Amino acid sequence: MPAFDVSAIRAQFPALRREQDGTPVVFLDGPGGTQVPERVIDAVTGYYRAMNANSGGSFVTSRATDAMAGAAHAAVATLLGAADPGEVKFGYNMTTLTFHVSRSIAASFAAGDEIVVTTLDHEANVSPWRAVAADRGLVVRTVDIHPEDGTLDLDSLDAALGPRTRLVAFGYASNALGTINPVGEIVRRAHAAGALTFVDAVHYAPHGSIDVRALDTDFLVCSVYKWFGPHLGALYGKAAVLDRLPAYKVRPAHDRYETGTPSFEAFAGTLAAVEYLRDLGRKYGDGADGAGTGEVRGELVAAMRAIAGYERSIGRRMLDGLAAIPGIHVWGIADPARIDERTPTFAVTLDGISPADAAAELGRAGIFTWDGDFYARGLIERLGTYEHGGVLRLGLVHYSTAAEVDRTLEALAHLAAGAPLGSRPIAR
């Protein structure tokens, strides 16, 4: 397998050339949204130049728009392992898609039916279910975590499942702690209880390969702006389930779930983002995974496995480094031997400095991180850190480098020792 050439990859992302006070910045904000390669920018602006039109017209720009939109749905279907492009629905973002489809999903639920959510999840996979439950008199049950390592408590899942469970909504991976859930196993238990499954893959999607058919989930959602594309949400729904649900749509619309005129320019950028990943699979993927076959799904799987392998190496480096700094606490899975069970998204707290102050200090030093709860409110409350400003989140993606990890660790060591970074770049 060819070596993962992170310099060549970074050269494709114009934003990564940014400097602050004469020093390159470090983007550790990926879980909040990633940077995009040049080809995505070109595709978005190129759409306005070459084919800007509404759908369904008998003229060349409209036909080109429809062809491109079809290709974008097919590309995302292939990325997610779906059989049919019609099983992919685009929307403004994951939150809006989830609020929208939750209304269709719950339309057949009766008062007293139950929905299961989890403490580990982003609120976008909790609040819509609570809202629809309030509308229809449903009961919401919440699966707990093991607070010591931030994994989902599967005994608590079993206790939450019952004869009236109609839906289990859970995440593929935690956007705060990085924990990867045993998705296939949770789907299996939910289906055994007769429930539908709704998987939030927003955090996981940039870090690994997804196969909705192997998982057998009924729904899965992700956000293209978290995997190197434009601001757009994507929903996968099993055709058989989508077809039987009532859809909230205007009468003449031909699609039952995509409402109104979409952001076609974002569709064009999405297609380019999938092509970027495929290219990465061709260049750095393993032949055994499908690289070099010319087959799109295989090359995308190879890309995501190559990304996961590279991220494991820089993720381990981060965990080893964090363990060596006195005064830092890592929330979630901290054992480098368990790197396969997490994404390279690290939640930390530092003695003597709040997450907000640490993020501000790091930001002044050109290291971009997030602090707070990242809308994983229930989790941060459960961990007892909410009153203390939540956690500081360090998010690596495949364009992050070992040198950036080292520079971040050095800055954190300063902060944990009580030394402010000020506006000075950290000397290397």
Binding site for ligand PLP (CB under 6 A): 31, 93-95, 122, 124, 171, 175, 200, 202-203, 223, 233
Q: Which is nearer to ligand PLP, 230 or 285 (CB)?
A: 230
In the complex, what is the shortest distance from the CB of residue 366 to ligand PLP, in angstroms, rounded to a whole number?
Answer: 23
In the complex, what is the shortest distance from the CB of residue 233 to ligand PLP, in angstroms, rounded to a whole number?
Answer: 5
In the complex, what is the shortest distance from the CB of residue 31 to ligand PLP, in angstroms, rounded to a whole number?
Answer: 6
In the complex, what is the shortest distance from the CB of residue 161 to ligand PLP, in angstroms, rounded to a whole number?
Answer: 22
Q: Which is nearer to ligand PLP, 44 or 411 (CB)?
A: 44
Q: Which is nearer to ligand PLP, 223 or 369 (CB)?
A: 223
Residue 383 phi, psi (nearest 5) = -80, -10
In the complex, what is the shortest distance from the CB of residue 223 to ligand PLP, in angstroms, rounded to a whole number?
Answer: 3
Instruction: Say which amino acid occupies 172.
Output: Y
Q: Which is nearer to ligand PLP, 204 or 284 (CB)?
A: 204
Residue 260 phi, psi (nearest 5) = 70, -175
In the complex, what is the shortest distance from the CB of residue 247 to ligand PLP, in angstroms, rounded to a whole number?
Answer: 20
Report which of 344, 343, 393 is spatially closest to residue 370, judged by C-alpha positions.
Answer: 393
Q: Which is nearer to ligand PLP, 4 or 368 (CB)?
A: 368
Q: DSSP characters for 82-141?
A: -S-GGGEEEES-HHHHHHHHHHHHGGGPPTT-EEEEETTS-GGGTHHHHHHHHHHT-EEE
Report which of 208, 197, 268, 245 is spatially closest to residue 43, judged by C-alpha positions.
Answer: 268
* DSSP-derived pairing of the beta strands 196-200 and 367-368: unpaired
In the complex, what is the shortest distance from the CB of residue 267 to ligand PLP, in angstroms, rounded to a whole number?
Answer: 15
Residue 368 phi, psi (nearest 5) = -95, 110
Residue 169 phi, psi (nearest 5) = -110, 120
Q: Which is nearer to ligand PLP, 16 or 126 (CB)?
A: 126
Q: Which is nearer to ligand PLP, 126 or 308 (CB)?
A: 126
Q: DSSP characters for 264-284?
A: HHHHHHHHHHHHHHHHHHHHH
Element (H, E) at 61: helix 60-80
Distance between CA 226 and CA 9 in Å, rounded?
Answer: 17
